[in-house]
Structure 1
Amino acid sequence: MSEHPARPGPVTVLLAPDGVVTGWSEGAARLFGHDAAAAVGAALPALLGPPAAEPLLGALKLAGSGRPWHGVLPLAGEGLTVACDPLAGADGRVQVLMTVSPPRPDGLELLNEAGRRIGSTLDLHLTAREIVAVTVPRFADAGAIYVLERLLADDDQPAAEADGSAVVRRLAVAFADDDPQEWAREFPVNEVIVYPPATPYARCLTGGRMIEFGGDAIQDTMAHRTGRLIGGLLDHVSMLAVPLVARGRSLGFAVFSRKRGRPPFAAADTALAAELAARAATCVDNACLYRREHRTATTLKAGLVPDVVAAPPGLEIAHRYLPARSGVGGDWYDVVPLPGDKVAVVIGDSVGHGVTAAAAMGQLRVAAHTLVSCEFPPGEVLERLDAIAQDLDAAQFATCLCLVCDPVTRRCEVACAGHPPPLLALPGGTARHFAVPYGLPLGVSDPAHPPEYEQVPAVIPAGATLALYTDGLVESRMRNVDEGIARLASALVASHEGSLGDAADGVLALLSDQQGHDDIALLLLRPAP
Structure 2
Amino acid sequence: MSERPPPRAAPVTVLLTSDGRITGWSEGAARLFGRGPGEAVGAPVTDLFGEPPGGPTAEQLVAAFGHAAEGRPWSGVLPPAGDGPAADGGLSVSCEPMTVQDGGVAVALTVTPPWAGRLELLSEAGRRIGSSLELHLTAREAVAVTVPRFADAGAVYVLERLLADDDRPTAEVDGSVVVRRLSIVFADDDPRGWAREFPVNEVIVYPPTTPYARCLATGRMVEFGGDAVQDTLAHRTGRLIDGLLDHVSLLAVPLVARGRALGFAVFSRKRGRPPFAAADAALAAELAARTATCIDNACLYRREHRTATALKASLVPAAVTAPPGLEIAHRYLPAGSGVGGDWYDVVPLPDGQIAVVVGDSVGHGVTAAAAMGQLRVAAHTLAGCGFPPAVVLERLDAIAQDLHAAQFATCLCLVCDPATRYCEVACAGHPPPLLTLPDGTVRRFAVPQGLPLGVSDRAHPAEYEQVPAAIPPGATLALYTDGLVESRRRNVDEGIARLASALVASQAGTLEETADGVLNLLSDQCGNDDIALLLIRAARPS
What is the CA deviation profile of residues 431-482 of structure 1, one whole-angstrom value per residue up to 9, with x for unaligned ones?
A: 2333434445434556665544444443333432111123454467998766
Aligned equivalents of 2:416, 2:316: Cα separation in 1 = 20
Aligned equivalents of 1:440, 1:524: Cα separation in 2 = 24
Count of residues in Structure 1 that have an aligned counterpart in Structure 2? 469
Assess if the C-alpha contact under 8 Å between 2:413 and 2:427 holds in 1: yes
- In the TM superposition, residue 173 of structure 1 has moved relative to its aligned partner by 1.3
- In the TM superposition, residue 174 of structure 1 has moved relative to its aligned partner by 1.6
Q: Match for 1:370 among 372, 381, 399?
A: 381
Q: 2:204 matched to 1:202?
A: no
Aligned equivalents of 1:168, 1:445: Cα separation in 2 = 53
Aligned equivalents of 1:364, 1:242: Cα separation in 2 = 49
Q: 2:69 matched to 1:44?
A: yes
**TM-score of the aligned structures, taking structure 2 as reference length:** 0.73
| 2:314 alignment counterpart | 303
Q: Which moved more, 1:134-143 or 1:447-456?
A: 447-456
Q: 2:250 matched to 1:225?
A: no
Q: Give the partner amino acid of 1:490.
A: S
Q: Match for 2:146 among 135, 157, 176?
A: 135
Q: Which moved more, 1:344-353 or 1:448-457?
A: 448-457
Q: Match for 1:291 among 302, 326, 329?
A: 302
| 1:495 alignment counterpart | 506
Q: 1:189 to 1:423 in 2, by over 3 A?
A: same
Q: 1:110 to 1:379 in 2, by over 3 A?
A: farther
Counterparts of residues 337-348 of structure 1 (less than 5 Å): 337-338=348-349, 340-348=351-359
Q: Give the partner amino acid of 1:433.
A: R
Identity %: 79
Aligned equivalents of 1:434, 1:297: Cα separation in 2 = 34
Aligned equivalents of 2:199, 2:452: Cα separation in 1 = 52
Aligned equivalents of 1:410, 1:393: Cα separation in 2 = 38
Helix, strand or coil: the match of 1:161? coil
Aligned equivalents of 1:173, 1:478: Cα separation in 2 = 50
Helix, strand or coil: the match of 1:203? helix
Helix, strand or coil: the match of 1:135? coil
Unaligned stretches of 5+ residues in structure 1: 8-13, 20-26, 28-38, 53-67, 73-78, 84-95
Unaligned stretches of 5+ residues in structure 2: 1-5, 10-15, 22-51, 53-63, 76-80, 86-90, 96-106
| 2:45 alignment counterpart | none
Q: 1:314 to 1:46 in 2, by over 3 A?
A: closer
Aligned equivalents of 2:92, 2:498: Cα separation in 1 = 68
Helix, strand or coil: the match of 2:413? strand
Q: 2:136 matched to 1:119?
A: no
Aligned equivalents of 2:472, 2:405: Cα separation in 1 = 42
Assess if the C-alpha contact under 8 Å between 1:294 and 1:355 holds in 2: no
- In the TM superposition, residue 125 of structure 1 has moved relative to its aligned partner by 1.5
Helix, strand or coil: the match of 1:458? strand
- In the TM superposition, residue 200 of structure 1 has moved relative to its aligned partner by 0.4
| 2:249 alignment counterpart | 238
| 1:168 alignment counterpart | 179
Q: Match for 1:361 among 359, 364, 372?
A: 372
Aligned equivalents of 1:333, 1:69: Cα separation in 2 = 76
Aligned equivalents of 1:244, 1:307: Cα separation in 2 = 40
Aligned equivalents of 1:102, 1:212: Cα separation in 2 = 23
Helix, strand or coil: the match of 2:375? helix
Q: 1:297 to 1:161 in 2, by over 3 A?
A: same
Helix, strand or coil: the match of 1:329? coil
Q: 2:431 matched to 1:420?
A: yes
Assess if the C-alpha contact under 8 Å between 1:403 and 1:415 holds in 2: yes
Assess if the C-alpha contact under 8 Å between 1:410 and 1:459 holds in 2: yes
RMSD of the alignment, in Å? 4.2
Assess if the C-alpha contact under 8 Å between 2:311 and 2:339 holds in 1: no
- In the TM superposition, residue 320 of structure 1 has moved relative to its aligned partner by 3.5
What is the CA deviation profile of residues 413-447 of structure 1, one whole-angstrom value per residue up to 9, with x for unaligned ones?
A: 33333433322212221223334344454345566
| 1:334 alignment counterpart | 345
- In the TM superposition, residue 346 of structure 1 has moved relative to its aligned partner by 0.2
Q: Give the partner amino acid of 2:345.
A: D
What is the CA deviation profile of residues 337-357 of structure 1, one whole-angstrom value per residue up to 9, with x for unaligned ones?
A: 335543211012345555444
| 1:253 alignment counterpart | 264
Aligned equivalents of 1:109, 1:43: Cα separation in 2 = 28
Counterparts of residues 19-38 of structure 1 (less than 5 Å): none
